[in-house]
């Protein structure tokens, strides 16, 4: 339990650092800023308590807000995906999988995992950009940011996942 | 009852979810008020100093352009100084007339941008000067090229500026040649384009005309450049122009800004508030009466004090005279007296 907590804390620190220093400064095509911080919620394992997942989501969002002047927007959207994540994971997990399944390519299968990440990112970016615009007058622009952001962030997360997993595999072989 | 408790325990995550969402939304909406959200934004000292370090590193990336700008500003200032010198000389030869005020009517505090967004609907800039440097909300922010924005909230060492690139920003401005005024707004999209609305249709507007502040608000002094008219269009209702303006301030590379610190006057603001809200007029009158009363009391107290000091002085004088008659005079006596005479008068 303690080691899981420390791992999450470490992951949070690294992700926040990257989000603030790198991803907050990326504006693809002028509007698309990837909220990679959502990877924290993606990584929550299967039998984690739902309240713990919610609180983690909220704290992650709040930290993100503090660094990017978006008071409340990040917290609201991260809490939303923290609510969806356990349900989604339950649906997508193979029937005979382990109780404390950690979502990854190997445990869910490649396309299932991509689908899982994309749905969570779509919810995250949808909530975030709707709260940011707070109007539907320029909805094409909002829709563009939401869809672009979800796709772009999904690609980044899959890239991170590939990087981490392959390194783990190689260390195991050694 | 038991069923209810079971229901709550079984669905407790829903309650936690709703609670956390409500808290987030409260943060979101309170962000629109002043000071409330200072601790959840980059005006916070901890986060602000983190950004300070980061911008210390990244500012090197823009040094070239910044240097170029400074060089240009320097050039212009040199030219102006030369012109002013000539003007001054011409006037001094006359020796009677003098220009009443050559100096600026406002002070500025220069600050560095430590964090900024330009691609959202509501963009903000964090700068590394705050209340400790005399910065307060609603002060104007400019840079060497033109107007940047208005201070939105402050903490001790950091402030958040609402730049022109914010859908909530609205700055009153005028056209330099014709002096017709309008208001400058921004629409989400480009970081160098804003729009001037409510310029009347009969105003002679030309392309490449300069848009500047008009000094109607007490945030900016009149005549600060904002941008240049790029395209002339009509507003949806057809009653006024809708001008597309290219902003002078280059937001993507913004590093150095100046905050105008002493232009806004509380007296003027109070007067304007009073005119808008008749209910306040009575309270102001009452406070004026109170002020008078207070002044009278002060006067009385001062009179009493002066009387007391006079008596004291007399007493000392008599004593000194007595001493003088008995012993030789000393230099200290003359030194003591002028102080007391001053206070008596």
DSSP sequence for B161-221: EEESSBTT--EEEEETTT--EEEEE--SS-SSEEEEEEEETTS---TTPEEEE-SSSSSS-
Over residues A48-90, the pLDDT tens digits come to 888 888 898 999 998 888 888 777 888 899 999 998 888 888 8
Q: Could you say which of A70, A75, A141 has the minimum Cβ distance to residue B188?
A: A141
The reply to whether residue B121 touches residue A132, judged by beta carbons under 8 angstroms, is yes
Give the SS3 label for residue B63: helix
Mutate to test the interface with A, among B24, B58, B121, B189 (most CBs of A within 10 A): B24
Question: Could you please report the per-residue DSSP string of A19-87?
Answer: HHHTGGG--BTTTB---GGGHHHHT--TTS-HHHHHHHHHHHHHHHHHHHT-TTHHHHHHHHHHHHHHH
User: What is the distance of C-alpha B46 from the center of its chain?
Assistant: 24
For position B103, what pLDDT does the model report? 42
Q: Across the strands, what pairs with B174?
A: B181, B212
Q: Does A143 touch chain B (CB under 8 A)?
A: no
Q: Which of B20, B50, B51 sits opposite A79 (nearest CB)?
A: B20
- Judge: A69–B117 Cβ closer than 8 Å, yes or no: yes
Please identify which residue in the block is written with the tokens 């739902």.
A50
For B45-163, which CATH class?
mainly beta
Residue B339 pLDDT exceeds 80: no
B29 to A72: CB separation less than 8 angstroms, yes or no: yes
Which superfamily does CATH assign the domain made up of B171-248 to?
Rod shape-determining protein MreC, domain 2 (2.40.10.350)
> Looking at per-residue confidence, does A38 or B40 come out higher?
A38
Instruction: Give the bridge partners for B150, in sequence order.
Output: B140, B162
B17 contacts chain A (CB < 8 A): yes
Nearest to B17 among A61, A68, A83 (CB): A83
Alpha helices in chain B (DSSP H): 2-10, 12-30, 45-58, 63-94, 266-276, 278-326, 331-344
Closest C-alpha to A129, from A32, A39, A38: A32
> What is the dihedral angle through the alpha carbons of B223, B225, B226, B228, rounded to the nearest 10 degrees?
120
List the 53-112 stretch of B: residues with Cβ below 8 A of A: 54
Q: A35 vs chain B: nearest CA distance in angstroms?
A: 14
Q: Tell me which chain B residues have a C-beta less than 8 angstroms from the C-beta of A70.
A: 120
Q: Does A47 touch chain B (CB under 8 A)?
A: no
Q: How far apart are CA B124 and CA B115, in angstroms?
A: 8
Highest mean pLDDT among A135-144, B104-113, B209-218: B209-218
Check residue B97 and give its pLDDT. Answer: 46
Enumerate the residues of chain B whose CB falls inside 8 A of the CB of residue A80: 21
The helix (run of H) or strand (run of E) holding residue A81 is helix A73-92
- Return d(Cα B35, Cα A135) in angstroms, integer: 25
Beta strands at B225-234 and B147-154: parallel, antiparallel or unpaired? unpaired
**DSSP state for residue A6 in the 8-state scheme:** H
Q: B42 and A67: CB-CB below 8 Å?
A: yes
Give A-chain residues touching B51 at CB under 8 angstroms: 67
pLDDT at B334: 46
Distance from CA of A100 to the nearest CA of B (A): 19
Residue of A nearest to B166 (CA): A133
Q: Which residue has the higher pLDDT, B246 or B41?
A: B246
Whole-angstrom distance, CA of residue B301 vs CA of residue B309: 12
Per-residue pLDDT tens digits for B52-100: 888 888 778 778 888 888 888 887 887 788 788 778 777 765 544 444 4
Fold equal for B45-163 and B171-248: yes
> Which residues in chain A touch residue B54, judged by CB atoms under 8 angstroms apart?
21
Out of A21, A71, A138, closest to residue B31 by CB:
A71
- Span B178-184, mean pLDDT? 86
- In this structure, what token pair is assigned to residue B24? 């987030």
Count CA atoms closer than 13 A to A130's CA, side-chain side: 11
Chains A & B: contacts with CB separation below 8 Å: 89
Interface contact B23-A75, CB threshold 8 A: yes
* Domain residue spans of chain B: 2-30, 45-163, 171-248, 274-344
What pLDDT score does A124 carry? 92
Q: CB–CB of A51 and B16 under 8 A? A: yes
The minimum CA-CA distance between B70 and chain A, rounded to whole Å, is 25
Q: Which residues does chain A have within 8 Å of residue B12's beta carbon, measured at their own beta carbons? A: 51
Q: 3-class DSSP state for residue A50?
A: helix
pLDDT score at B332: 45
For chain B, say whether A35 makes contact (Cβ under 8 Å).
Answer: no
pLDDT in tens, B118-158: 888 788 899 988 888 888 888 889 888 889 999 988 888 88
Cα-to-chain-centroid distance, residue B153: 11
CB B139 within 8 A of CB B162: no
Can you tell me whether residue A35 is helix, strand or coil?
coil
pLDDT in the model for residue A160: 87
Element (H, E) at A118: helix A110-133
Q: Which residues of chain B lie closer than 8 angstroms to A30, CB-CB?
A: 119
Using CB atoms, which residue from B20, B41, B47 is nearest to A58? B20
Task: Using DSSP bridges, classify how beta strands B140-142 and B193-200 pair: parallel, antiparallel or unpaired.
Answer: unpaired
Which pLDDT score, from 0 to 100, does residue B338 have?
46
A92 touching B, CB under 8 A? Answer: no
Q: Of A43, A62, A35, nearest to A105 (Cα)?
A: A43
In this prediction the pTM is: 0.59
Q: What's residue B341's pLDDT? A: 45
Which of B43-47, B197-201, B216-220, B324-328 ranks highest by mean pLDDT?
Answer: B197-201
For chain A, which ranges sit under pLDDT 70?
1, 166-174
**Pairing mode of beta strands B240-247, B225-234:** antiparallel
Radius of gyration (C-alpha) of chain A in whole angstroms: 16
Which one of A16, A30, A51, A69 would you mutate to disrupt binding with B, by most B Cβ within 10 Å of its Cβ?
A69
């Amino acid at each position: 339990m303690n080691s899981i907590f420390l791992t999450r804390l470490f992951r949070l620190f690294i992700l926040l650092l990257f989000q603030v220093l790198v991803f907050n400064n990326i504006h693809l095509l002028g509007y698309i800023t990837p909220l990679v911080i959502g990877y924290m919620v993606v990584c929550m394992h299967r039998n984690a308590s739902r309240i713990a997942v919610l609180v983690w989501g909220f704290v992650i969002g709040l930290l993100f807000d503090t660094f990017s002047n978006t008071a409340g927007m990040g917290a609201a959207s991260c809490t939303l995906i923290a609510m969806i994540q356990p349900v989604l994971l339950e649906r997508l997990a193979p029937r005979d999988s382990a109780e404390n399944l950690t979502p990854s390519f190997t445990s869910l299968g490649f396309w299932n995992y991509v689908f899982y990440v994309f749905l969570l990112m779509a919810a995250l970016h949808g909530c975030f950009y709707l709260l940011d615009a707070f109007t539907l007058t320029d909805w094409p622009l909002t829709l563009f940011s939401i869809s672009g952001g979800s796709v772009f962030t999904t690609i980044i997360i899959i890239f991170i996942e590939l990087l981490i997993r392959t390194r783990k595999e190689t260390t195991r072989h050694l | 009852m038991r069923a209810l408790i079971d229901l709550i325990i079984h669905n407790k995550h829903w309650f936690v979810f709703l609670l956390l969402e409500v808290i987030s939304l409260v943060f979101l909406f309170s962000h629109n008020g002043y000071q409330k959200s200072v601790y959840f934004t980059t005006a916070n000292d901890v986060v602000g100093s983190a950004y300070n370090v980061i911008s210390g590193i990244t500012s090197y990336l823009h040094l070239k352009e910044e240097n170029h700008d400074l060089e240009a500003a320097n050039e212009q200032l040199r030219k102006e100084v030369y012109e002013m010198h000539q003007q001054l000389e011409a006037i001094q030869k006359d020796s009677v007339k003098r220009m009443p005020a050559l100096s600026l009517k406002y002070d500025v505090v220069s600050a560095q941008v430590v964090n900024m967004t330009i691609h959202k609907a509501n963009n903000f800039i964090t700068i590394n000067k705050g209340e400790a440097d005399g910065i307060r909300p609603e002060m104007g922010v400019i840079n060497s090229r033109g107007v940047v924005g208005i201070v939105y909230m402050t903490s001790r060492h950091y402030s958040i500026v609402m730049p022109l690139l914010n859908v909530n920003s609205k700055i009153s401005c005028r056209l330099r040649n014709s002096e017709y005024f309008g208001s400058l707004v921004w629409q989400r999209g480009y970081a160098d384009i804003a729009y001037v609305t409510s310029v009347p249709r009969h105003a002679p507007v030309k392309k490449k005309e300069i848009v500047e502040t008009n000094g109607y608000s007490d945030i900016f002094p009149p005549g600060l450049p904002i941008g240049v008219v790029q395209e002339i269009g009509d507003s949806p209702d057809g009653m006024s122009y809708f001008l597309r303006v290219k902003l002078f301030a280059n937001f993507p590379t913004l590093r150095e800004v100046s905050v105008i610190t002493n232009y806004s006057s509380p007296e003027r603001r109070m007067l304007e508030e009073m005119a808008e809200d008749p209910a306040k007029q009575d309270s102001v009158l009452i406070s004026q009466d109170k002020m008078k009363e207070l002044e009278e009391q002060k006067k009385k107290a001062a009179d009493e004090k002066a009387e007391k000091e006079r008596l004291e002085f007399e007493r000392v004088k008599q004593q000194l005279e007595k001493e003088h008659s008995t012993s030789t005079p000393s230099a200290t006596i003359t030194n003591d007296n002028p102080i007391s005479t001053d206070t008596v008068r």
